[in-house]
Structure 1
């Protein structure tokens, strides 16, 4: 809802063009468009919103969290950390990844991240960090993956 109305105010074609975690003042909002967004959200939700809404809650995600807390105060904890970023990644991958090398590197990184969340990996005695399985990661790694490991994991870039 917030991103849709922000996109309309900015003249964008849709909500996908408004990043949830990016400051609205950074993407072109000023005091007049901030008032317009507040008025649109007030009309859509039927909930009174302060004139300082955009300044108190500078990103679409922050405004959405504020609205959720105001409109559904007993909704419980919010989404798990990282879910919004995964949604953005999913949207970025909708068109597919053409280059097989890029696709393999991306798949490797996603497997690594998934391994951090896998309870079986942490139950095996590690703490879920990349350092736990460096030998396993290197056994099946391509040359590019090994160089990326050296650059990113060992801090040599």
Structure 2
């Protein structure tokens, strides 16, 4: 007979800062989700960035899995610092559970706590699910960058003013 530890039964997804030991999981998620994934070294460069976070999901058995991640940073801009959500992904098997929303909320809170007056991001013009997520969090389409991605797809630049 298998029993579930009480803390595992009550545990929901947890967002925390990324650790070096998480990078291989993050990289594997990146490879599985995006047609043109970042190289592993890109994640290493952001390792100490407060806006680089992972979401852990806990199974009924108490096992934890890195289910997704977000990479966001802050760019000084003449007294009006701008946040930038650079990458956000959730494993296919964990989609539809609100983990992308959870990661985005944590990233925005981290950026705004560090002084971001606005946050921007780029999203593939074909990624309707991501655009809906971003609009739901106050992002507005500001411009389109033709051929932004290596495969020639356009990017929409979306911006959210601090709320």
TM-score, normalisation: structure 2: 0.28
Q: Which has the higher strand share?
A: 2
The answer to which structure has the higher helix fraction is 1
> Quick check: which has more Rg, 1 or 2?
1
TM-score by length of 1: 0.28
Query: Which protein has greater RCO, CA pairs closer than 8 Å, 6+ apart?
Result: 2
